[in-house]
Amino acid sequence: MYPLGPDGPEQPDREAEERKGAARRFRETDLPLDKLWTYYYGIGGEIDEVSLDAYLHEALDIPAAQVNLIATAMTEMTEEDTE
């Protein structure tokens, strides 16, 4: 089975940093927004495409769990790209 345990404490002061990081990563990867959203939805994402767009432009706060999923989606998609 997989390591089970709590997520660890949330650090709200890191949110702005994470937003900035995600926005920068999105620009660097050059992924089309609709493709990223579809992939993110496919791994369980909950926010809609417009909100995702806003988050990636540092204009919207979203739950930490969604931040993780967006990061996961970008990582998995860029890995697929370079395969």
Residue among 55 and 70 whose Cβ is closer to another protein: 70
Q: Which two tokens stand for residue 72?
A: 């996961």
Alpha helix positions (H), 3-63: 15-29, 33-42, 49-56
Site string for another protein, 9-48 (x = CB under 8 A): ---------------------x-x-xx--xx-xxxx----
**At 14, is the secondary structure helix, strand, or coil?**
helix
**Which is nearer to another protein, 42 or 59 (by Cβ)?**
42
Residue 58 to residues 9, 13, 22, 40, 43, Cα–Cα distance (Å): 23, 15, 9, 18, 22
For another protein, which is the closer residue by CB, 16 or 33?
33
Residues lying near another protein in the complex (CB under 8 A) are found at 1-7, 30, 32, 34-35, 38-39, 41-44, 63, 65, 68-69, 72, 75-76
